[in-house]
Structure 1
Amino acid sequence: MQKKLLIFGISGPILTQQEKEFLSNHPISGFILFKRNIVSTAQLISLITELKNLYSNYKPIIFIDQEGGRVARLQPPIIDTKYPAAEYFAKLYHHDKALALQTVRANYTILMQDLKRLGIDSPCAPVADLRYPYTDAVIGDRSFGSDVQQLVDLCSAAIDGIANAGGIAIIKHIPGHGRATCDSHQELPIVTTALKDLMDTDFAVFQQLSKHPKIEWAMTAHIIFHALDSKAPVTLSNTAIEFIKQEIGFSGKLVSDDICMFALHSHLGINQTLTHKNLEELTNEQHKHLHQTFINSLIEVTHQSFAAGCHFVLHGSGHLPEMIAIYDAI
């Protein structure tokens, strides 16, 4: 059976029997790990080894969000080092550019070496989003700064470090998440900035990084840019993704950001956000109905992501009924 271009999360620190039966008979491209999957170093290596050996003819890619700072699924004592957020290197860049670039390269080399020892292939980094003082804190200190050239310099050094250690660098969130005034995990950001301004700022970063010889992957932003498509977020927009490929010049593999994020699910997403805050107010029947509606929306979003031009779709919840529904639908 041919593998499908899906990246799934799993539910916990071991593969359940149901997950094992489903996944071993339904090949996918990769897995993404979260804190819920990590208990100890030995347990994690065992889990990753099992995931890597699910299929006889290839090894699925193992991803994890390990940017440093507050987005780091791996923490001591699982690994030895608590890596700094991108903001640390941005501040260093202002004092000593050469030292900052050297430090970033070394940081991401060692970080990636940590991951490789565990069997992980990609840290889902670097974040290439510009930082703005008036926007949502979802990016914040994850950004390498607010200047285009500074971001390009520091991201390029991070890419070099990841690649030098044999890892897969992923620039995110193409074509730029920095102007979002809300968190796309919870609701859909809408950016009304003029195209020329975007091309001079957010898009310029990704345009330059797309030329980097060691960049082959990018992760899409769940954001509506009026300048590209006023109705659909980038992940679901053929117009926006064609722009990324043709005008920004990214020719590598595009992976969706997590399709479980409520930005992609319109009014249902808003309802889901509210539901997560008020679960105790729902009856079992209401919760079951809402979740089935969400599964139907996930199926639609999966179809739209592929139709728009994403090469891979990432689903991270680890909820098996969602995974089965998505797999069977494509």
Structure 2
Amino acid sequence: MNRQRAGERPPLAAIFGCEGTELTAWERDFLRSHNPLGFILFARNAASPSQVRELVDSLRETVGRESAPVLIDQEGGRVQRLKPPQWRRLPPAEPFGWLWNDAPEKACRAAWLHGYTIAGELSGLGIDVNCLPCLDLRVPGAHDIIGDRSFGADPRQVAQLGQAVCDGLLAGAVIPVVKHIPGHGRALVDSHESLPRVETSLAELETSDFLPFQSLAGAPWAMTAHVVYTAVDEEEPATTSLRVVQDIIRGKIGFDGLLLSDDISMKALKGDFASRTEKALAAGCDVVLHCNGERAEMEAVAAVAGPLSEAAFQRLEKSLQARGGDGLPFEEALNELGGLLP
């Protein structure tokens, strides 16, 4: 459905975080005024299930859209925003890779259950997008920012387990976000702190790092890598590189879902926040992600982001239609998962 014909106010091509466990008066006014596409939550925003549910409802109320996406990074292991004891402890990706080495079918079933049970917890809170799975390869000698967040070094293994997690999340009515396209596994530095440069040839990237993303080119959402791939673009990281987005992500990989930048407040990116936003959108990202809740940065992003494009809106609508309920009882799925993991 064309949003203009529907009479809707086009959302801003941005997703924002907030500072705490409830919205401030300034945040309410800012979000109501600028109408971002959606929101993202972190550990600082989560004190209890009832509080998170109230915060999610408040966020959607500011923009007047019950369908406004609410995102989180609920991977497991080191990256788990909803933490014990209020929420269950989740495993990282690595154990699923260990299981795949001995029993691929069991590993894929476990990965599906992992996605499905996470979706069950998130759906109860009103969170409908999870930044999972990581399709980055485990590369010896690379920085451990990926590390055990990866399913392994074999592209086929990563693709199969990643697909299973995506399918599980969708069966639980949560949209997956594959990351970090076109591959963060070779980075020698943490992109939160500085800009990684990958010197690997294009031929090698095409037969390794790119393959899991190519296998999951039909995923509804993907998140970019703040990584320079010198074989494609000597200067710009994927997030702000027209060559990487158009030639590799949309071209060779064939991804046609909603493309979300990684957090533009990370130190890998240079320049002020207006220029970061403009460059990411000009390169072909559909939406920019800003996570830290800093007022001045958010204002700078909102001033230049502009409305979501019609093509991006269609990708968003398609992603919403991909969700469906499996009907497997949550406790049954949880017990089955516990019996499969090593």
Tell me whether the two structures share a fold, i.e. TM-score over 0.5: yes
Is 1:45 the counterpart of 2:53? The answer is: yes
Is 1:328 the counterpart of 2:319? The answer is: no
1:216 to 216, 220, 240: 220
Report matched runs for 1:1-330 at 5 Å. Answer: 1-79=9-87, 81-211=88-218, 215-243=219-247, 244-265=249-270, 297-330=272-305
Question: 1:290 matched to which residue of 2?
Answer: none
Report the TM-score when normalising by structure 1: 0.88
Q: How far apart in 2 are the matches of 1:325 and 1:230? A: 27
Q: How far apart in 2 are the matches of 1:2 and 1:152? A: 35
Bigger mean CA offset, 46-55 vs 135-144: 46-55
User: Structure 1 57/12 Cα, relative in aligned 2: closer, same or farther at 3 Å?
Assistant: closer
Q: Is the 8 A contact 2:74 2:132 kept in 1?
A: yes
Amino acid paired to 2:261: S
Amino acid paired to 1:201: S
Q: How far apart in 2 are the matches of 1:191 and 1:96? A: 33
Q: CA deviation at 1:58?
A: 4.9
Q: Is the 8 A contact 2:19 2:293 kept in 1?
A: yes
Q: How far apart in 2 are the matches of 1:125 and 1:232? A: 25
Runs of 4+ aligned residues of structure 1 deviating over 3 Å after TM superposition are none
Q: How far apart in 2 are the matches of 1:196 and 1:121? A: 37
Question: 2:6 matched to which residue of 1?
Answer: none
Q: How far apart in 1 are the matches of 2:232 and 2:66? A: 38
Q: CA deviation at 1:57?
A: 4.7
Q: How far apart in 2 are the matches of 1:185 and 1:235? A: 14
Q: List alignment gaps of at least 5 residues for structure 1.
A: 266-295
Say which SS state the counterpart of residue 190 (structure 2) adopts: coil
Bigger mean CA offset, 54-63 vs 238-247: 54-63
Instruction: Between the two structures, name the one with larger relative contact order (CA 8 Å, sep ≥ 6).
Output: 2
Q: CA deviation at 1:163?
A: 0.6
Say which SS state the counterpart of residue 232 (structure 2) adopts: coil
Q: How far apart in 1 are the matches of 2:65 and 2:101? A: 49
Say which SS state the counterpart of residue 127 (structure 1) adopts: coil
Amino acid paired to 1:262: K
Say which SS state the counterpart of residue 269 (structure 2) adopts: helix
Say which SS state the counterpart of residue 175 (structure 2) adopts: coil
Q: CA deviation at 1:2?
A: 2.9
Q: Is the 8 A contact 2:37 2:68 kept in 1?
A: yes
Amino acid paired to 1:245: R
Matched length: 296
Q: List alignment gaps of at least 5 residues for structure 2.
A: 1-8, 306-342
Q: Per residue, is there more helix in 1 or in 2? A: 1
Q: CA deviation at 1:60?
A: 1.6
Identity %, equivalent residues:
42
Q: CA deviation at 1:41?
A: 1.6
Q: CA RMSD in A?
A: 1.1
Question: 2:339 matched to which residue of 1?
Answer: none
Q: CA deviation at 1:59?
A: 3.1
Say which SS state the counterpart of residue 124 (structure 2) adopts: helix
Amino acid paired to 1:218: A
